[in-house]
């Protein structure tokens, strides 16, 4: 399980770097961080060789809502998004395209879009 989470972290960090956020990294707190601001939450559960949950990469999130809570229960830390860091709108589709390519690289697999 630790390998899986570490590889997800590497995948998100590479996604951020390819999108123009080279300072994205891990810390002692779970998730991917840009300075003191979390850009991606990670929560994974495994049972009987099946994983559930995953990542939450903030793309164009309205960050004002986080002013009313303690995000992830971590005092003194904030939340950011791809859009906030890049100072432009980053839609989910744009981020997903980059993420999928990085996922393929790190997990050594090929993802094909389902045709209906």
Residue 5 has φ and ψ, to the nearest 5°, of -65, -45
| 8 in Cβ contact with 30 (< 8 Å) | no
Residue 64 has φ and ψ, to the nearest 5°, of -60, -30
C-alpha angle 72-25-69 in degrees, rounded to nearest 5: 20
Asked about 109 being catalytic, the answer comes back as no
| 39 in Cβ contact with 26 (< 8 Å) | no
**Out of 40, 72, 91, 109, which one is annotated catalytic?**
72
Catalytic residues: 72
């Amino acid at each position: 399980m630790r390998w899986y989470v570490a590889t997800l972290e590497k995948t998100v960090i590479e996604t951020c770097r390819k999108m123009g956020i080279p300072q994205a990294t891990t810390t002692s707190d779970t998730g991917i961080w840009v300075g003191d601001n979390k850009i991606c939450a990670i929560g994974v559960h495994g049972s009987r060789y099946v994983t559930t949950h995953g990542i939450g990469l903030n793309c164009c999130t309205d960050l004002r809502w986080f002013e009313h809570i303690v995000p992830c229960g971590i005092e003194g830390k904030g939340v950011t998004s791809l859009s906030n860091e890049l100072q432009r709108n980053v839609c989910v589709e744009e981020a997903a395209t980059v993420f999928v390519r990085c996922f393929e690289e790190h997990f050594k697999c090929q993802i094909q879009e389902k045709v209906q």
